[in-house]
Structure 1
């Protein structure tokens, strides 16, 4: 017995040391992102001011409001006019540059706080995180309390899947009662949305929808193959994710335009469903197959190190092996990507609201910068610059009631804005590397935004990320 007691003491001591080590690692990682902290002593003066000499792209109409003034008070747009007089307030000269709503990425996977700076640097002032974990609730709280510079932050709970869709990234549901309890729990804990995923059968899907109605929480659907595609057109489901899911499920990989049109018509008839195509993440399959050195490329230095080591590597190896086994896979993927562009064109022509989403944070899809690639794909698909910009502004803000204060430059809206040199309605590329980004009215200049990029590059937080993921597994499983 004495030996057993001694062994137990040793075990508990080791566990205690490991816990302490984990706390220290997480504390160090947290301190490394303190550059995002808001100085509360300065914040009051930094989010109330007048902007003069600015050309406004309001995004509630296809126009430019030339040479205007904008009064922002405590992060809210109070007035837009030719001349505004407010005594005792800072005046910011926009020097005839162009002011647009901040961009919104409606499909991201956030792994650490460094990525919040990467989004801001690229003009993304709101994100919808679609793989919720406890750490995201902490980010959400810090954003709400104005503790950190961050895009406006919205998040689903964990992905809800069927019982046989195994993986530590999924919350496997086995019966309708369990499904209802999870929806209730996620709403109570502070998650904004429910995300449905693969493998949900009719009974469980019905239970999720029923409880979401009762709990008054929106659903975002990655289509389940266990129910007809039309099942995802329920009014409680506010957006469907991925153009590729149309190819895989209702079309069964048959790239047929008449069959596609039938699906598009059904989505359009629902009148309430937005679609997030996420063309970038699928196109990156093609990019991986075309570039054997992509994992060592300069852009990948901005990805989370745990994702590079695990998900990026696994995806690369999967498609590298696929092209080795069958070289025609490259052309097949390229052809499907081109068909996705047709899907976007058809959705737009049918009046389905397209909302910009990149699936950033997985594979080789970079946080922040990927939104510009996604927008360029929509332009290639035939949308005008104004229509392209709508997908990442007003369309996105209209997908959920809780986002309605974003997406346009109007009186009463939150001052999430970007200032760029040239008119993006003429040159879409001007949205890249904005001169200033405004988050709840607080101004971030290009120098500060560039420093966010440098802080995130080659970050050494693999273990800290793993610990936060372990926390998620312990709490959610």
Structure 2
């Protein structure tokens, strides 16, 4: 009996030690991102400015408002005019540069707070996170309370999948009542949206839609193969993700533009549903097959280290092995990517609202940086610079009512803004490294934004990320 008691004491002591180590690890990681704390950066905590001598790209119409002034009061655009007089406020000279709405990435996977700085550095001032975990609710709270510099932050709950899609990244549903209970739970916890994924059959899908409507939660749909593709054109579903899903499901990998057109027409008739093509993440399959050293490339140092070790490595091995078995797959992937450009072109011509999303944070798709690659693909697909910019501004902001205060430069809107050297309606690449961003009215210069990149590069927070993921498995599974 004494031996058992001693063993129990040892076990409890080890558990206590592990818990203590975990707490210290998370504290150290949190301390390493305190450069994002607004209260510790008093020099940039001001959120009221009078901007003068600036050219505005409002994005509520295709125009440039030349030589304007903008009054930002406590993070909100108070007035836009040729001349504004306000006493006792800091005046910022736009130096005849261009002021645009901040970019919105509508499909990301955030793994740590370092990534928030990466998004800001690349001009992304709002993100929609599509795989919610407890840590995202804490980020959301800190953003709403304006404790940290971050893009405006919105998140779904955990991914809802069918019972056979086993994996720690899925919330498996086996019965319609379970689906309803989860949606009620996610609403209570503070998640913004519902994310549907593979394997949801008609009964469960109907339950998700019904309860989401009752709970007033928009649905973001990664199409389920167990219901017709047209089933996702429900008014409760505000966006459908991935151009590749059109190829994989209704087209069954037949890259036929004649067969594509009826699908495009059906989507266009659903005026309440936007489409997020996420061309970048699929194109990165091709990039992995073309570059055997991609995991050791300098850009991959911006990936979360746990994701790089696990997901990036697994994806690379999957496609590297596929290429070894069948070299022709490289051309097939490239052909499908090219067909995705046609999908985007057809969606645009049909009047479908396209919203920019990258799937940033997984595989080799870099947080923040990848949105510029995504926008370049839309340009390649034939969209004008104005229409390209709409996908990451006004189109995105109209997708959900809780995002309506973003996406344009108008009086009453949130002051999430970029100041760039050149007119992006002429030179789209000018968005890549904004001179300044305003996030809820607070001004960050290029030097500060570059420091966010450096802080995130080669970060050593693998264990901290694993602990937060373990928390998710314990709480949400």
Question: Do both proteins adopt the same fold according to a TM-score greater than 0.5, normalized to the shorter chain?
Answer: yes
Question: How far, CA to CA, are the matches of 1:273 and 1:47 in structure 2?
Answer: 34
State the secondary structure of the residue aligned to 1:448.
helix
Question: How far, CA to CA, are the matches of 2:445 and 2:48 in structure 1?
Answer: 16
Any residues of structure 2 matched to 1:41-440 within 5 Å, and which? 42=42, 46-440=46-440
Question: How far, CA to CA, are the matches of 1:463 and 1:39 in structure 2?
Answer: 27
RMSD: 0.9
How many angstroms does 1:39 deviate by?
2.1
Normalization by structure 1: what TM-score? 0.99
Is the Cα contact below 8 Å between 1:43 and 1:442 reproduced in 2? no
How many angstroms does 1:42 deviate by?
3.7
Deviation digits for residues 230-281 of structure 1, max 9, x if unmatched? 0100000000000000000000000111111010000011111100000000
Normalization by structure 2: what TM-score? 0.99
With over 3 angstroms needed to count, the CA separation of the structure-2 counterparts of 1:59 and 1:178, relative to structure 1, is same
State the secondary structure of the residue aligned to 1:86.
coil
State the secondary structure of the residue aligned to 1:59.
coil
Q: Which runs of 5+ in 2 are unaligned?
A: none
Question: How far, CA to CA, are the matches of 1:176 and 1:460 in structure 2?
Answer: 42
Deviation digits for residues 383-423 of structure 1, max 9, x if unmatched? 00000000000000000000000000000000000000000
Question: How far, CA to CA, are the matches of 1:360 and 1:89 in structure 2?
Answer: 38
How many angstroms does 1:45 deviate by?
6.6
- 2:444 is the alignment partner of 1:452: no
Question: How far, CA to CA, are the matches of 1:403 and 1:258 in structure 2?
Answer: 36
State the secondary structure of the residue aligned to 1:158.
strand
State the secondary structure of the residue aligned to 2:127.
strand
State the secondary structure of the residue aligned to 1:382.
coil
Is the Cα contact below 8 Å between 1:44 and 1:74 reproduced in 2? no
Deviation digits for residues 140-188 of structure 1, max 9, x if unmatched? 0000000000000000000000000011000000000100000000011
Is the Cα contact below 8 Å between 1:77 and 1:414 reproduced in 2? yes
Residue range with higher mean Cα deviation, 408-417 or 251-260 = 251-260
State the secondary structure of the residue aligned to 2:157.
coil
Question: How far, CA to CA, are the matches of 1:41 and 1:149 in structure 2?
Answer: 10
Question: How far, CA to CA, are the matches of 2:151 and 2:44 in structure 1?
Answer: 19
Deviation digits for residues 73-132 of structure 1, max 9, x if unmatched? 000000000000001111000000000000000000000000000000000000000000
Is the Cα contact below 8 Å between 1:193 and 1:220 reproduced in 2? yes
